[in-house]
A and B are shown apart, each in its own frame.
Chain A
Amino acid sequence: MYYLKLSEAPVRFEAVNQLTNVFFDDSNKDVFAVRSGGIMGVVVKNANAHSETLNFRMDDTGPVLSIKFSPDHKVLTVQRTNTAVQFMNFLCNTLDACYTQSCKKNSNILGFVWSYTNEVAFITDHGLELYMVLPEKKSLKHLKTVSATVQWFVWCSTNKLALLASSHGSHLLPVFIRQGSVIKLSKVETEPGRMALERDVTLATLYGTPAVLILRHHSGPGTAEVHVHTLDGPGQAPVKTHVLKLALTGRFAINVVDDMILVHHQASRSSLVFDVALPGESDGTVKYHTPVVPAKSIKPVSLSLPGLIEPQTHECDLYSPNWVVFQPNIVIDAKLGCLWHISLCLQELCSQISDVSICTQVALKRTNAKMVLLQLLLAIVMKDKIPLDKLQESFNHINYVYRDWYEAEIQSQMASPPSAPITAKNTTRPRVLIDQDNIYNDLFLKLDPEKDVEKMEWLLVSYLTSLSECNIMAQANLNELLINVLARQKKFSVLQQLLQYGVVADSKPIACLLLSLGNLHPAASQLALDMLCRIGAAEEIQEILISEGETVSALKIAGSQGNPRKFLTLAEKSGDSMLFHTILTHFRNNPKVAAMFEKDPRLMSYIQQYNLIFDKK
């Protein structure tokens, strides 16, 4: 059982050898295979398997240190020296117009990044220089310079965030590069004098927030930790919020997949999975996390290589020293010439988590996990013994998500005053949204209504409790199911309690259902009447009372709305002279109706009938 796997069809490229150098641009996710400095050709493959392979030649004017395309793949940038970067306009697989930009004097370029379609930033040992690229003019325009001492840097293209390191990595300065400007943030607070290597620092995005992940090795066995600094302090200041306890030592590599942090450990050839959203031990500011599941290797993968006679399969060496890991989820084996995407096997992962509540929390935050989670819940409720308390927590987590979405949805549907500015609907659907219909269809309808009736009751009560804790109105179908389940077990006193304490919300359909149970449990019809009364359904109450022969009570409910002919006909048909008297007198004592009697001969006939009944004696 593996819960991590590599993509089945890796992007293949020419492996590194004496002639060929391989570069990876993690901004565009391009793999560059540069043969003999470019003269023999450059092959650019994108990690996104569907995009086209680019093929071109360029002049060799020295060893290539770095090679990148602009985000729109119209300008190729090559760094061959420490002081300048070459720019070439790229059109139809050919290069033309080479122009060069040098950095400030006495500076060494540590690297460069495309921060915008036509903007490029040089990171030098003296700071950061931002230029605008003007391909038509074949020149660059200096925009901004930020001075800082830099020894090395890490770039995150998704957030346009650079982390500038000095003092051997003990001083880490995050910098946002926006269009035409550079924003310095406050430095990453680390233990004073604690150094870090470039390879131990990872920039990632966790649940939409940029984060700096620093691998910290401690002396002593099994004490390596990953410190997570999220940029969500005031002014996006980095704050150390999480510590992942690895309980291992050695070389590690980090990936982030679906907001889960994967820490690969080379020595044990296994990976640890962390989710910072899960509850953990906390000291007030920092949460300490342990792996969600025990460490496990990535699922073995094999390559089919064209052989002499027949294709050979090559078992890929996992966790090999040739692996280079890029963010967020890319693993490259340069010797093998393979680029994989790493992904989660959610079902397997969930099945490894014994605690339903934790498992639900994990699944709720993963993409496309809805069916997985529903199946998982179903599997649990199908068991003979249900961990109801855990399941209750699980329902709570599901409903927290549901409630937030539900409230946002209602908010967006609410009419705003005409003067209010039209705000874009920013209700993003949560990754996993399990609503009442899902639970009803995929959980309750799957249970055997005969055999599991008691189980259904527990689950329903548990789920409805959770809904009510979240202030969500339960849907009628769930309420109906609950009533049916209780009625089938003849638990009428329970039903009565649930209704009287408002656990089952009042509605006309529920009232009708209760009415239909009247023959099983006499009090049910009274409960139905009470419910109708609470929702003010006078008409229905009237009809029910009439059908039960309670004509006088029906008239009382009807008040002045009672139709004289209807009630008089009923009274006449009943053959009860007392009733007839009551009804007729009631109407005749009402001046308005009495006036109607004068005009309507059909009503007058009732008076004649009355006189006939009572004047005979």
Chain B
Amino acid sequence: MSDNIEIDPGAARESGLVTTDSFDNLERMSSSLDEIKSTNAISQSEESNDNANIEQLDESTNYVKDSTEENEIEVSREWTSKSKHIFVLSQAGKPIYSRYGNEDKLAWLFGVMQTLVSFVQSSDDTIKSIHAGDTHFVFLIKKPLILVAVHKTQESEQQIVTQLNYVFNQITSILTLTRLKKIYEQRQNYDLRRLLTGVERLIDHLLDFSEKDPSFFLGAVQCLPLTSSVRDSISSAIIAACNKIKNLVFAILLANNKLITLVRMKKYCLHPADLHLIFNLVQASESLKNSESWTPLCLPKFDASGFLYGHVSYLAEDCQACLLLLTVDRDVFFTLSEAKQRIVERLRRGNSLEAINEALVSSDANWNGAGFPELRHYIYKSKSTAQFYQPPIGPPYSLRPRRLIDVYKRSHQRLHSSTRPLKLAFERSASEAVLAWDTRGFELYATFEPLTSTAAIIASVGKLLDWVKKREDKLFCLNAPTF
């Protein structure tokens, strides 16, 4: 294994990200938060506060959506023609979320879904999916919720389940799993939508995001290409500003859905799935751009039982990189705000902001000139760091980027099918030739011009790996700095 780490581009001995595959669901929970809190002996009034919160919300039952859209046709042609529907409901069959349309109007449909689930459950079984021609119904039962996808896409059941898991994680990241369970223990009929005001937007965004970004099915994150010296100086700037602050768990700097650096507390790692939720949060919330924010946030993979508190801010007007400082303390906003100022100053002094801006603007388009005339696009995932690199999408996919993602999803499925996984898959069609290669250290997905000869493709892949290796310290975060 260690040999591979030497050889494979982008491999590192240590990673700030958890590198397990992303298909496991969140049954096993760590109690990272308690650990951190107990080690730092911080006051514990969390529990009671949570309870109070629920009661408060219970009183405001009148909140339910304005029903001015009565005359909306629930099952319109447009609604049925959507390629993928996502529904969330409670075990009791109460509507919680529908990707399209108004849940209230679809109450009957949620009833049907609940019936299907409970009917199969009554015989000590679990419904997983229904396949009817082109249409697939995928069920994910995550107590106390039921998630359902109805889709006509080419995605596999595994990929859909992953997506449903993300939806569930998104909900838990707002409420924490502990609270979610408690709510339903107390009232089975509870209408969860009361607690999820504004979260629908996050879920909508998450769904779109997960459909057009390869990081979700790869279970990895993409880094902003920076020379290692720049990246190291950024990391050290953050460390220097924050190493005195207790209970700061993670400092994450990201820009344009790409990770710049991740500084972490010793012993603790961040799961890519959690990072994706953070990316989603940052991207979906325009308001974060305007001011510093303080937000409670549950990272389900990290610890689903409680909140972390995040100081979220953009670095500067002239640098659209977003800094998140996550702590277990709920009242250190100003400490973190000061730390942020110090970070920005240090970065400005070290000319790092310009470097980031430059990296954001330069589309790195010159890779095509590196001797790969027939290579259209590729994704290289380093397994040991849970990171991947892809060049910007160029012609012909620049007009239809979703198409390329679909191609990759299909190849990914070939490599990771639970019944018949492949090590190497090569598929040539009139539109493109796709090579997918799974090794111990990396996964490579490459699309070529359809008329490229197989020999040329093999030669290109070899050259491509060399090329990535040469630039690995720029394309990947190879260090996992700690406070």
Contact with B396, one of A555, A556, A586, A614 (Cβ below 8 angstroms): A614
Contact pick for B399, options A582, A586, A617, CB 8 Å: A617
Residues of B within 8 A of A397 (CB): none
Contacting residues of chain A (563-617) with chain B, CB-CB under 8 angstroms: 577-578, 580-582, 585-586, 588-589, 610, 613-614, 617
Q: Closest CB of chain B to A233's CB: distance in Å?
A: 68
A550 in contact with B430 (CB, 8 Å): yes
Say yes or no: is B421 at the interface (Cβ < 8 Å to chain A). no
A581-B399 Cα distance, complex, nearest whole Å: 11
Contacts A552-B430, A589-B373 given; indicate if A581 touches B451 (C-beta within 8 A): no
Contact B430 A586 (CB under 8 A): no
CA distance A582 to B447 in the complex (A): 12
Q: A553 at interface (Cβ–Cβ under 8 A)?
A: yes
Task: Give residues of chain B (249-304) contacting chain A, Cβ–Cβ below 8 Å.
Answer: none
Q: B449 interface residue, CB < 8 Å from A?
A: yes
Q: Do most interface residues of chain A lie in helix, strand or loop, or is the interface mixed?
A: helix
Is B431 interfacial (CB-CB < 8 Å)? yes
Roughly how many angstroms separate A550 CA and B451 CA in the complex, as a whole number? 13
A555 — nearest CB in chain B belongs to which residue? B451
Evaluate whether A556 and B431 lie within 8 angstroms (CB atoms) in the complex, with A581-B395, A614-B398 already known. no
Q: Shortest Cβ distance from A525 into chain B, in angstroms? A: 16
B450–A614 CB distance below 8 A: no
B403: A residues at CB distance < 8 A: 578
**Known contacts being A553-B430, A578-B431, is A586 close to B395, with CB within 8 Å?**
no
In the complex, residue of chain B having the shortest beta-carbon distance to the beta carbon of A578? B396
Inter-chain CA distance A555–B452, complex, in Å, is: 12
Q: Mark B432-474, 1 if CB is under 8 A from A, else 0.
A: 0000000000000000011100000000000000000000000
**CB-contacts of A435-457 with B (<8 A):** none
Interface residues of A in 544-570 (CB under 8 A from B): 550-553, 555-556
Partner of B449, one of A551, A586, A614: A586
Q: For B329, list chain A residues within 8 Å (CB).
A: none
- CB within 8 A of A614: which of B373, B395, B431, B451? B395
Q: Which residues of A contact B399 (CB under 8 A)?
A: 577-578, 613-614, 617
- The answer to whether B128 has its CB under 8 Å from any CB of chain A is no
Give A614 to B397 CA distance when docked, in angstroms.
9
B395 in contact with A582 (CB, 8 Å): no
The answer to whether A586 touches B451, judged by C-beta atoms less than 8 angstroms apart, is yes
Most B CB contacts (10 A, CB to CB) among A551, A585, A613 go to: A585
**Are A582 and B398 neighbours in the complex by a CB distance under 8 Å?**
no
A551 to B430 Cα, complex, angstroms: 8
For B451, the closest partner residue in chain A by CB is A586
A614 neighbours in B (Cβ, 8 Å): 394-396, 398-399
CB of B400 within 8 A of chain A? yes
B199 CB to nearest chain A CB (Å): 32
Determine the distance from Cα of A552 to Cα of B396 in the docked complex, in whole angstroms.
15
Tell me if B374 is interfacial: C-beta within 8 Å of chain A. yes
For the complex, give the distance between the alpha carbons of A589 and B371 in Å. Answer: 11
How far apart are B333's CB and chain A's nearest CB, in angstroms?
41
Mark interface residues in B286-328 (1 if CB within 8 Å of A CB, else 0). Answer: 0000000000000000000000000000000000000000000
Task: Provide the residues of chain A in CB contact with B373, threshold 8 Å.
Answer: 585, 588-589
Contact B398 A617 (CB under 8 A): yes
Given known contacts A578-B431, A589-B374, is B395 in contact with A556 (CB within 8 Å)? Answer: no
Q: Are A582 and B374 in contact (CB under 8 A)?
A: no
**Which residue in chain A gives the minimum CB-CB distance to B399?**
A577
How near does chain A come to B387, taking the closest CB pair, in angstroms? 28
Interchain CB contact under 8 A, A556 and B451: yes
Q: How far apart are the CA atoms of A585 and B449 in the complex, in Å?
A: 8
> How far, in angstroms, from A556 to B394 measured CA to CA in the complex?
23
Q: Which residue of A lies closest to B394 (CB)?
A: A614
* Residues of A close to B450: CB separation below 8 A: 552, 556, 582
Interface residues of B in 383-398 (CB under 8 A from A): 394-398
Complex alpha-carbon distance, A613 and B399, angstroms: 9
Looking at A550, A577, A581, A617, the one whose CB has the most chain B CB atoms below 10 A away is: A581
Residues of B within 8 A of A581 (CB): 395-396
A533–B395 Cα distance when bound, in Å, is: 33
A253 to B396, CA, bound (A): 96
The complex places the Cα of A610 from the Cα of B394 at a distance, in Å, of: 13
Distance (whole angstroms) from the CB of B449 to the closest CB of chain A: 5
Cα distance A585–B431 when bound, in Å? Answer: 13
* Complex Cα gap A588–B374 (Å): 10
Q: Would you give the shortest CB distance from A586 to chain B, in whole angstroms?
A: 5
Least CB distance, A226 to chain B, in whole angstroms: 76
Question: Which of chain A's residues have a CB closer than 8 A to the CB of B451?
Answer: 552, 555-556, 582, 586
Measured CB to CB, the closest approach of chain A to B377, in angstroms, equals: 12
Among B374, B396, B399, B400, the one with the most A-chain Cβ atoms within 10 Å of its Cβ is B396
Query: With A and B bound together, what is the CA distance between A581 and B395 in angstroms?
Result: 7
Residues of A within 8 A of B397 (CB): 578
**A34 CA to B331 CA in the complex, in Å?**
157
Q: Contact at A577–B396, with CB atoms within 8 Å? A: yes
- Report Cα–Cα, A567/B394, bound state, in Å: 22
Give chain B residues whose Cβ lies under 8 Å from the Cβ of A613.
Answer: 395, 399
Task: Give the chain B neighbours of A585 by CB distance below 8 A.
Answer: 373-374, 449
Q: How far is the CA of A177 from the CA of B343 in the complex (A)?
A: 130
Bound-complex Cα distance A555 to B450 (A): 10
Contact between chains at B449 and A589 (CB < 8 Å): yes
27 residue pairs from A and B, CB less than 8 Å apart: A550-B430, A552-B431, A555-B451, A556-B451, A577-B396, A578-B396, A578-B397, A578-B399, A578-B403, A578-B431, A581-B396, A582-B396, A582-B431, A582-B451, A585-B373, A585-B374, A585-B449, A586-B451, A589-B373, A589-B449, A613-B395, A613-B399, A614-B394, A614-B395, A614-B396, A614-B399, A617-B398
Q: Which residues of B line the A interface, CB within 8 A?
A: 373-374, 394-400, 403, 430-431, 449-451
Q: A552-B431, A577-B395 are in contact. List 12 more A-B contacts (CB 8 A).
A: A552-B430, A552-B451, A553-B430, A555-B451, A556-B450, A578-B397, A581-B396, A585-B374, A589-B449, A613-B395, A614-B394, A614-B399
Give the interface of A toward B (CB within 8 A): 550-553, 555-556, 577-578, 580-582, 585-586, 588-589, 610, 613-614, 617
The 5 closest A-B pairs by CB, nearest first: A581-B396, A614-B395, A552-B430, A578-B396, A589-B373
